[in-house]
Amino acid sequence: MTLLNNAAETEGKQNATDTASSALMIALYTTEQPMRAALLERWMRPDRKLTRARGNVEMLPNGNIFIGWSENCYQTEHTPDGKMALEARLTSTRFSTYRSYKLPFVGKPTKPPIMKAFQYGNNDDGFTNAFVSWNGATEVRKWVFMGIPVDSPNWVEIAVVNKTGFESMLTSSGLWSHMSAIAFDSQGNRIGSSDIITPESTNTVYVARTPHSGVRSSLLKSPTVQTMTSFSLWHLLAGAVLCLMIVPGLACAALTVYRRAQRRGQFSGIMVSACTQNAESDVPLLYTDVEKRSD
């Protein structure tokens, strides 16, 4: 049997029996009378500290010993000849574990991967940065980035990126109206895909219809995409001409309303203007309600 020899306890009712905790492998001779126990192996806690509560010792299938020392989730693995093969702990001192285990684990998230993309420039010399991550997934080995070019209705493969960390990144030339990332395992099986997204852009405006469900699931059909490029000089000139046509009309209408209101005696008091200093002018621009002027 294996057990953890704390060599200490948390209540302070007795002194520590050793300077450090250890893991023990003991043989029990239960058929003998009286029964006896023999110590076969001992693994000292590598940092030479005491585990005052909890802890465990496990035999692994490969013959190694895996030990949970409790505090800060401190855990070590040792080969049969006593060499340390693994040492780990939490960085925070706030947390501890009751037991530690080393077991095969496969993470299969219920939510799809998350993808974001950002585009810069125009369709001739632009480029796109895309990021994808899948929190909890342990089987992803590579990402296949797919996209619909802004000048085409069809899906194309942009690039294949090996997963080397939590978040995978792709930088590609060109702009895309829609993008998605597909996750594959080590056997080449497709195990998930992100939602279809429209990349964010700072200098190109895209008006894109959300792809239908068939496109979401298979990436085989292409949604209808309409694009609108950035405002050109012609748009600015047209806007300026339109303003020149509208603003004078509004000013004339406001002046007419003002004069009519003056004739009805709704304005009183004298307003000062530099225009009244022109002696040659026979049209008083400002006057009191007494000095009513007929048009």
- Name beta bridge partners: 42: 24
Percentage of the chain surpassing pLDDT 90?
57
Q: Report long-range pairs for 44-50 (Cβ below 8 Å, ≥24 apart).
A: 44/20, 45/20, 45/21, 45/69, 45/76, 46/76, 46/84, 46/87, 47/74, 48/19, 48/20, 49/20, 49/21, 50/6, 50/7, 50/8, 50/16, 50/18, 50/19, 50/20, 50/21
Domains and CATH numbers, the chain: 2-88 (no CATH), 114-228 (2.60.40.10), 239-295 (no CATH)
Condensed to tens digits (0 to 9), the pLDDT of residues 7-53 reads 999 888 899 999 999 999 999 999 999 999 999 999 999 999 999 89
Condensed to tens digits (0 to 9), the pLDDT of residues 182-220 reads 999 999 999 999 999 999 987 644 434 444 444 444 454
